[in-house]
Structure formats: C-alpha cells, structure tokens
Structure 1
Amino acid sequence: MANLIFVFFIIVTFVAYFYYKTKEFRSTLPIQKKWYKAKAGVALGIFVIVFGLNTSIVYPTLVGFLIAAAFVIIGFMKSFSSYKQVRHEGKFVKEEYELNRNC
C-alpha cells in the first residue's frame, strides 16, 4: 500500500517538474524564468526524496537503505536550496512584471 502512495507522489512530482520546466521555457522575463527554474528544482528534489523512500520499501536490505539515504540527502539538499531561491526571486517577480507590462 505504501508503495502505491509513493508511486502516486513520484508521478505527481514529475508532472510538477515538467509543468514548471515548460513554464520556464515559455516565460520571457528573466527573473520569472529563474523563479520557474527554482520551482522545478523543488519538485525535482521532492521527486528524488520520494524515489529514495520508495527504494527503501522495494529493497529492504542494507544496500537498499544506503541508496535510499543517499537519494533522500541529495533530494533534500536540492529542494532546500531551490526553495530558498523561490522565496528570494518570488519577491521580484511581480515587480518585474509591472515594469515590463507597460513596454
């Protein structure tokens, strides 16, 4: 049952990653591009975390747990750094939009 929940979250985070990457490519404003890139990074980090947790369920051995721990640590580092970027650049997205709206 837990495996199905993790698979569901893996799919959801992959779709979120793909969505934000598409928004990044379609955006024309530089700060907005960085903001969407950071949001995609958060989704990717959560994807890696959930994938690592799923690995620990599928392969309940010492090697499986070590691999899962590596995925969780790497995913946490990626999502945390991207989250900080989202918070920082999110402050400037509305301002950039307002400045470029009149052009």
Structure 2
Amino acid sequence: MVIFPIIIVLSFVLFVYYWVAISRSKDKLTQHYFHAKSRICLGIFVLVFGINQYLYYETRLSLFIGIVFVILGGMQLIRGIKETKHYRNEWRRLYPKEN
C-alpha cells in the first residue's frame, strides 16, 4: 500500500505550491483560481489520509475518524472542482484573446 503515502505527499506538496502561488499573484481572479486548485489538493490530501488511516490501523475508532476525514475531504474536493470550473470560465470570458 505504498500508493496512498505517495498520493498524500504529492497532494500536500501541490497544496503548498498553490498556496505560495496565491501570495505571489497580484490578479484577484488568478488568486481565486489558485485557491480553488489548492482546495482540490487539500481535499485529496484529507480524503486519502482518512482512507490510509483506516487501512493502516483497521480499528473501529480509525473507521469513524476515517469516515469523518473522507466526508470532509470529499466536500473540499467537490467545492474546489466547482470553483475551478467557475473561475476558469470567468478567465475565458474576461481574457478571450489569451486562450
């Protein structure tokens, strides 16, 4: 089960990357877009972390904690996907020549 730690580390690194990109960007639309992308990475991190914890410990307590993490991570992931689609469409609407 080496795939889960790889996904956890990769999603956390991407989360930090997008979080730094937010602070470096001056455009508000770009900041919102990067924030949505970082929300997707955070959702994947929390979701996979919850699954990994249950598979590692396999106790009833880790099941309940894992369910909470999966729900919270799924909510972050879904909201991030919706925000990413919205801000991508706004970017295309405001800057049609750069597509």
After superposition, the CA RMSD in angstroms is: 1.8
State the number of aligned residues: 98
Separation in 2, partners of 1:93, 1:39? 14
Q: Which amino acid aligns with 1:84?
A: K
Aligned pairs (5 A) from 1:38-53: 38-53=36-51
Aligned pairs (5 A) from 1:50-61: 50-61=48-59
Please list every run of at least 4 consecutive aligned residues from structure 1 whose deviation after the TM superposition is greater than 3 angstroms. Answer: 94-99
- 5+ residue gaps, structure 1: none
Separation in 1, partners of 2:54, 2:24? 37
Q: Percent identity?
A: 32
Q: What is the TM-score with the length of structure 2 in the denominator?
A: 0.90
Separation in 1, partners of 2:90, 2:51? 35
Q: What is the TM-score with the length of structure 1 in the denominator?
A: 0.87
CA contact (8 A) 1:13 1:43 kept: yes
- 5+ residue gaps, structure 2: none
Deviation of 1:95 after TM superposition, in Å, equals 4.8
Q: Which amino acid aligns with 2:21?
A: K
